[in-house]
Homo-oligomer: A and B are copies of this chain.
Amino acid sequence: MHKNLKKIGIEMKLTTKGRYAVLALTDLALERDEDFVKISHIAMRQNISSTYLEQILLKLKRAGLIVGVRGPNGGYKLASEPEKIMIADIINIVEGKMEAKGCVSKSGSCTGVSGRCMTHDLWDELSRHIELFLGQISLRDIIKGNVLGRSSPPRAFDY
């Protein structure tokens, strides 16, 4: 019983993985002049387990956000300009998709017994908001300290 409304979540996850990813890419953005930055350096500077960071950077590399080169003088580098890399992208990649569906059971539609699930729109809208907000901020904004006082969605009315 009740095995059907489980693990179907909104999953706007935000764990250390996502934070580490943003931290690491911020580090990369700062070190842009050096050709390639080694995992171990980032790990040390940002105080992250380097083997764990490996996994994270690997995902980001597969997604094309960074490029990796092996061997001596190897390391990682941003694949594009810091202003083109948005936080939402980073998080989405390492945390695996901010899913927006709050209540779609595997059996199909999102209803309780009597056609409920009024909260669907809520979670949907929340996810949209977060994605919008993080999709607006780039790595460059972060290293420039350009984050505060940013209002996310364009406001409909003034009052």
Q: List residues of A whose CB falls within 8 A of some B CB.
A: 1-2, 4-6, 9-10, 12, 14-16, 19, 22-23, 26-27, 44-49, 87, 102-103, 112-114, 116-119, 121-123, 125-126, 129-130, 133-134, 137, 142-143, 145, 147-157, 159
How far is A87 from B102 in the complex, measured between Cα atoms in Å?
Answer: 15
Known contacts A122-B137, A129-B152, A152-B155, then 14 further A-B pairs from the complex at CB < 8 Å, ordered by chain A residue: A12-B14, A19-B102, A22-B122, A45-B112, A45-B113, A45-B116, A46-B112, A122-B147, A126-B130, A126-B134, A130-B130, A151-B152, A153-B155, A155-B157
Given contacts A10-B14, A153-B155, A155-B156, contact A129 B118 (CB under 8 A): no
- Note all chain B residues with C-beta closer than 8 A to A156: 149, 151, 155, 157, 159
B102, A49: Cβ atoms closer than 8 Å = no
B45, A5: Cβ atoms closer than 8 Å = no
Binding site of A, secondary structure by majority: helix, strand, loop or mixed? loop
A47, B4: Cβ atoms closer than 8 Å = yes
B134, A118: Cβ atoms closer than 8 Å = no
- Note all chain B residues with C-beta closer than 8 A to A10: 14, 19
| 16 A-B pairs with C-beta separation under 8 A | A1-B49, A2-B47, A2-B49, A9-B16, A19-B123, A23-B117, A45-B113, A47-B112, A47-B113, A118-B143, A119-B142, A125-B133, A129-B130, A154-B159, A155-B156, A155-B157
How far is A133 from B157 in the complex, measured between Cα atoms in Å?
Answer: 16
B125, A22: Cβ atoms closer than 8 Å = no
